[in-house]
């Protein structure tokens, strides 16, 4: 999986004011829906919240990978945001989160979903890559750094 296949510049936001987990998930849902009209922001927000209720998608090191299945779209979709201040996300290491990479997969995707999540988590586990993401000073710079990862 290449990050470039998941992201677009329109779904990459740098230095966002997140305030809370709920607000950040709402920002992600709205950002994706603005870029992909087939996806309803309210429905996506509900799906992301429902997934978080099953267990936090905070994977440690200040990273969260909110994810869910979506209807009406048959590709894998990503969105990346960095926050100007880390927020509590109930992460496995109890560290606040400042990098969120959302991933949406089609309703009928099964093995592909898990492979993509594992690949993304692996990429974000690279401390040098995380620091480069954190160092971005614009949406465009964040996008370029993200897609430069192998």
Q: Would you please indicate which residues are annotated as catalytic (active-site) residues?
A: 67
What Rg, from alpha-carbon coordinates, does the chain have? 14
10 Å CB burial of residue 149 (0-12, 13-18, 19+) is middle
- Contact present, 45 and 25 (Cβ < 8 Å): yes
Print the SS3 string covering 9-56. Answer: HHHEEEEECCCCHHHHHHHHHHHHHHHCCCCCHHHHHHHHHHHHHHCC
**Which tokens in the block code for residue 84?**
């100007």
Can you tell me the distance from the alpha carbon of 64 to that of 62, in angstroms, rounded to the nearest whole number? 7
């Amino acid at each position: 999986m290449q990050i470039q296949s998941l992201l677009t510049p329109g779904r990459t936001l740098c230095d966002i004011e997140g305030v809370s987990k709920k607000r950040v998930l709402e920002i992600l849902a709205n950002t994706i829906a603005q870029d992909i009209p087939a996806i309803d922001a309210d429905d996506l927000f509900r799906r992301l919240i429902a997934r978080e209720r099953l267990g936090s998608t905070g994977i440690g090191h200040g990273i969260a990978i909110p994810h869910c299945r979506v209807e009406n779209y048959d590709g894998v979709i990503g969105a990346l945001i960095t926050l100007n201040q880390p927020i509590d996300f109930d992460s496995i290491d109890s560290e606040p989160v400042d990098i969120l990479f959302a991933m949406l997969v089609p309703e009928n995707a099964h093995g592909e979903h898990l492979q993509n999540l594992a690949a993304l988590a692996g990429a974000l586990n690279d401390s040098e890559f995380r620091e480069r993401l954190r160092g971005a000073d614009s949406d465009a710079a964040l996008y370029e750094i993200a897609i430069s990862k192998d």
